[in-house]
Structure 1
Amino acid sequence: LRLVSGNHSDIKQGEIVHVTIETYDSRNMRKNVGGDFFFAVMSNGGNVSTAGRVADHMNGTYSVHFYAGWNGSASIHVILVHPREAVHWLKTSFLPRERRIEWTGIFSNVTTNETSVCYVSGSTGSAEDVCEFGNRNSLGNTVFVCEKADSLPCETLTYTRVKKSSLSDAAEKIVSEYEVDYLFKGPHIMTKLAGSPLKLEIQGRHDSNFDNLQPCIAELPIPISDGFWIDGETWQSLVCRARHFTLQQALECLRGKSVYLLGDSTVRMWQNFFRVNMTRTMSAAGAHRLLTSDEYNVSILFEFPAIRIGSVWSEFKNDKYESDVLDSLQSCNIIVTLSLTYHFESWTNRSYMERLHHVHSAVQRLMSRCPGAIVIIKSSHPREHTTRYSHVHSSDWTLFQMNTITRKMFSGMGVSFLDVYDMSLSHYSVNDVHMHIPARQQIDLFLSFVCP
């Protein structure tokens, strides 16, 4: 693959930089099909950076657009994350497979504990001698399945915990040695393109007025760039007119509100920002956290999703699905943020879509009875990969597609989208599911949608 120079001469601050990617086969012949997956970042070699928006022309060429947000030097780095062959294999051979992750279940009564193996299944009646735990309001036909314990009945399932090794174990079983060596090993994964980095100079004065951006409200159009890092700690959004909040300003913004953060630990990190001036009044193995402030009359509840991936034991009967939580809300003076990706990478597309569909219906019911409620959908971002198998079971392409699916499903119903993919990708720190510096900027975006 080659990075081809585009309109990178005489670039002025505030303009769009366009470069082209051309793809070739092993015989150095131009390819005429698309489907490859890239990361693209432009930076000044320090803490000023932005992500490129990649457009696939489906003919072997790709356009990448960057916003030139600063004066001075810039370098464009483009990385091939997955070739189209790996994307096709993930899409057709890996993601449709059931049971790509397992849990350990503990069945318990007063005198006895028995363990079992549990997993997610896309349909009921999938096997004999199993316990099936469904929720029509939240999962549809998908069920959580546990092999029956030796002597205890199904209703005694008490605790569950994911078997993290099962992610890699399942990937190893499904992917052949040839496939993992060819598709998920260099030079076909995380490969820097020929011609990268592409150097350029950004000149002139800034001709953009960020005050003219739209307020942060629901149903905003997707811009050609989500924004850029000014100094590695300050994110300038190009999506909407985002503000930067102190802790006191944040609490004032939320005064009188009940905030519900439903999802994974990336939104639990948001809650940690508020703990300085609020009281932690409830915790159950990290699954349910409630912060309250009498001074500001605000509460912030974090809730892990049921059937989650985590390192601690979960009380099965106390776990809550997003749809059920939304349906249980009585007050309308509320803010809801939903993070619906990281815990479901190992689900089949069908089961994931089914869960999203029921969340979508619950959001519709909530907004029907509470027209003033604020609902925000938070995206995922690229994560760390410690083994080549993690590129299979936790692919950044899969996360990107989940973001796309989520945005399509929830568009047109008055929710706000907080897309943090490019914000995290372009940051100078290494990609990680728990990126602490971008998390602070995510909170500013969240609050900007609450108090536009």
Structure 2
Amino acid sequence: MGGTLSRYSPFFFFLMIAAVFLILHNIHFLERFNSEPVSCLRPPQPRINNSSVINTSANLTSRTYLHTLPPELQSQKSCPHVGQQPTPEEAQEQRTLLDSIAWPGPPRLEVPVNQSSDPAHSYFVIQPPVNASGQATTWRVGGKLEVLVHMHDFLSRPKSYGGDFLLARIRSVQLGAGASGRVVDRQNGTYEVELPLLWAGAAQVEITLVHSSEGVGVLRRLRKEQSDRVYFKSLFRSGGLSETTQCDMCLPTGPGKAPLCDYTDPQTGEPWYCYKPKRLGCNRRVNHFKSGYKKNLLYPNESLLFTSSTIQIPVKAQGMDHITILPAENGQSLVGQDQSKFVPSGYYHQGSWRTLSGVPIKHFNNPAAVKQCLKGKLFYLFGDSTVRQWFEYLTAFVPEFSLRSQKNVGPFLAVDSANNILLTFHSHGPPIRFNTLQSSEIEYVANRIDALRGGRDTIVALSLWSHFSTFPVEVYIRRLRHVRRAVARLLDRAPGTLVVVRTANPQITDPNYSLYNSDWYSLQLDTVLRAMFRDVRGVVLLDAWDMTLAHPTQPRLLHPAKEIISNMVDIILSHACPVKQKG
């Protein structure tokens, strides 16, 4: 008998392993069904001492690779409706937009982590100034500063390919001055940086590695394979009965899944679904809210690319990192006139934003000036919390505004009856990561714009970007297309309406949050937004990217500091109440 059991022991062992696997699989299935954060079958991330990883190459062996997610672990979804189909012209525009944000990557899929970009071993060099004839000269206002960045890996070897995400600026804390720079990828491990010289005096160069090219590859994969890494839910209620279900733009369907409640917008065709409650109807939906973030998105080796020592780290200078700028010479072309030079939208000097083209900026430094400009005007703000900041700034700055608002979420309403001023804020439709938004207040920006009368007494400000960072770019393009159509209709029926579109802005994030709101995601959305609204006549693009990056003293934040917001509001008011030209 003992021999017989011994003979079949491998078979029983196999059955035991299979049973354990089946139990784990069912647990995972139930977690998915209940919409709780799950690990997508990835192993838990070990606790890693970042300093030892970065500084000890022995921890980064040649056998440690960056992997893509196996096909069998990718999310399988089936959506009955994914939005209105684009026309042939719109489809061509989408292809052009996607081509414009194509990002170079490593020459092969599997790259040893010790061969990824290391900011500690990389450096930049300020190039000596030369004139058009190649002769040595000096740095002067109206010229440009050229910098060459050399990227190295953790073994201190030069990189041979590009794809790193770098940000550059030039600043002077003493003068309250700052400007953004342009980075050009040479595709060989080096990067050219061009910085405009816009003030006389001292200036310091700053280069930041936001993500290595290998880290960008991980972000690209997450956007493609894990677009549901932010969880949304809705509460359904009838009398004393209530249920909560998972919601999203696209939900898994099939055996074992509840039917879907379809909340697709009838005007724009924007899709949104929730799983139907077991005991309540779809018409009993009460609210919408963010319920959390999916965790354990990275493999242990990938996590080495997202630490406090590898993302958003300054690259040091080899040699000096500062220069002295002399005043412009007579006859030297002004910035903006020489098309061969990179020209940002503006720069800071003495803490104030100065535009390099368009309407001159007037600074509204007291509440009386703001009220005089907005007198008799309707000011509508639509979008996310970055445009809500303008509402919060104005209502705090002008005490006469009386508030009728729900904290944080809105809709916000402020009035100044004496001056006949109306100020409102409404959030954009889902996906929106606010804590709780009443279902009755969920409306898409395009529809709200279509409901406006417009005219010279109307200001419309828009900001849609941050909440789309985890979704495919095609989703963002589709949403902006609906908004652009509505803006065009508004300007057709009321040409005097002022429409301001706020761009995205960079922000300092921790390693984990960068998987959801990385500056790389924001940059791609920002590029798409600018391209889609660049040629819409009558639209003002407010460059929040440059204004946040260039500020000489304030940190880069998702919600920029008050000093930056006040300058943004000055831009809007300067367009609403332009300075009268003499003569």
1:215-234 equivalences in 2 (<5 Å): 224-231=343-350, 233-234=351-352
Match of 2:307 among 177, 185, 205: 185
Q: What is the match of residue 130 of structure 1?
A: 260
Q: Does 1:432 align with 2:557?
A: yes
Contact 2:223–2:470 under 8 Å retained in 1 = no
TM-score, L = length of structure 2: 0.68
Structure 1 residues 277, 103: closer, same or farther in 2, change over 3 A? same
AA paired with 2:267? N
Instruction: Give percent identity, aligned residues only.
Output: 27
Structure 1 residues 278, 291: closer, same or farther in 2, change over 3 A? farther
Query: SS state of the match for residue 566, structure 2?
Result: helix
Question: Across the two proteins, how many residue pairs are aligned to each other?
Answer: 435
Q: Distance in 2 between matches of 1:41 and 1:19?
A: 11
Query: SS state of the match for residue 115, structure 1?
Result: strand
Contact 2:391–2:423 under 8 Å retained in 1 = yes
Q: Computing the radius of gyration over CA atoms, which structure comes out larger, 1 or 2?
A: 2
Displacement of 1:288: 1.1
Displacement of 1:442: 0.6
Q: Does 1:381 align with 2:505?
A: yes
Query: SS state of the match for residue 329, structure 1?
Result: coil
Q: Which moved more, 1:354-363 or 1:302-311?
A: 302-311
Q: What is the match of residue 328 of structure 1?
A: 451
Contact 1:42–1:74 under 8 Å retained in 2 = yes
1:254-273 equivalences in 2 (<5 Å): 254-273=374-393
Q: Does 1:162 align with 2:290?
A: yes
Q: Distance in 1 between matches of 2:227 and 2:210?
A: 25
1:26-425 equivalences in 2 (<5 Å): 30-46=158-174, 47-95=176-224, 97-121=226-250, 128-138=258-268, 140=269, 142-163=270-291, 165-166=292-293, 169-170=294-295, 172-173=296-297, 175-181=298-304, 183-185=305-307, 187-195=309-317, 198-204=321-327, 224-231=343-350, 233-240=351-358, 241-246=360-365, 247-275=367-395, 276-285=398-407, 286-307=409-430, 309-333=432-456, 334-385=458-509, 387-414=510-537, 415-425=539-549
Structure 1 residues 49, 413: closer, same or farther in 2, change over 3 A? closer
Structure 1 residues 305, 179: closer, same or farther in 2, change over 3 A? same
Query: SS state of the match for residue 134, structure 1?
Result: coil
Q: Deviations over 1:365-391 (max 9, x none)?
A: 212222222211101212232x31111
Q: What is the match of residue 218 of structure 1?
A: none
Displacement of 1:355: 1.2
Displacement of 1:290: 1.8
Structure 1 residues 378, 364: closer, same or farther in 2, change over 3 A? same
Q: Which runs of 5+ in 2 are unaligned?
A: 1-121, 130-136, 579-583
Q: Distance in 2 between matches of 1:326 and 1:441?
A: 25
AA paired with 1:155? N
Contact 1:14–1:207 under 8 Å retained in 2 = no
Displacement of 1:28: 5.5
Query: SS state of the match for residue 260, structure 1?
Result: strand
Structure 1 residues 114, 122: closer, same or farther in 2, change over 3 A? closer
Q: Does 1:2 align with 2:110?
A: no
Displacement of 1:59: 4.2
TM-score, L = length of structure 1: 0.86
Query: SS state of the match for residue 220, structure 2?
Result: helix
Higher RCO (CA-CA < 8 Å; seq separation 6+): 1
Q: Distance in 2 between matches of 1:390 and 1:297?
A: 43
Match of 2:568 among 438, 442, 447: 442
Query: SS state of the match for residue 11, structure 1?
Result: coil
Q: Distance in 2 between matches of 1:355 and 1:413?
A: 16
Structure 1 residues 239, 37: closer, same or farther in 2, change over 3 A? farther
Q: Deviations over 1:410-446 (max 9, x none)?
A: 2211111101112112321222222221000111112
Contact 1:379–1:418 under 8 Å retained in 2 = yes
Displacement of 1:398: 0.8
Q: Which moved more, 1:398-407 or 1:122-131?
A: 122-131
Q: Distance in 2 between matches of 1:360 and 1:265?
A: 20
Q: Distance in 2 between matches of 1:424 and 1:298?
A: 29
Displacement of 1:315: 0.5
AA paired with 1:5? I
Structure 1 residues 303, 311: closer, same or farther in 2, change over 3 A? closer
Displacement of 1:258: 1.5
Contact 2:336–2:343 under 8 Å retained in 1 = no
AA paired with 1:332? G
Q: Which moved more, 1:388-397 or 1:198-207?
A: 198-207
Q: Distance in 2 between matches of 1:253 and 1:95?
A: 46
Displacement of 1:7: 3.7
Displacement of 1:254: 2.7
Structure 1 residues 224, 213: closer, same or farther in 2, change over 3 A? closer
Structure 1 residues 122, 442: closer, same or farther in 2, change over 3 A? farther
Structure 1 residues 78, 211: closer, same or farther in 2, change over 3 A? closer
Q: Which moved more, 1:322-331 or 1:426-435?
A: 426-435
Q: Distance in 1 between matches of 2:250 and 2:288?
A: 16
Contact 2:123–2:151 under 8 Å retained in 1 = yes
When the two chains are superposed, the root-mean-square deviation of aligned CA atoms in Å is: 3.0
Contact 1:106–1:158 under 8 Å retained in 2 = yes
Q: Which runs of 5+ in 1 are unaligned?
A: 215-221
Q: Distance in 2 between matches of 1:210 and 1:258?
A: 41
Structure 1 residues 388, 267: closer, same or farther in 2, change over 3 A? same
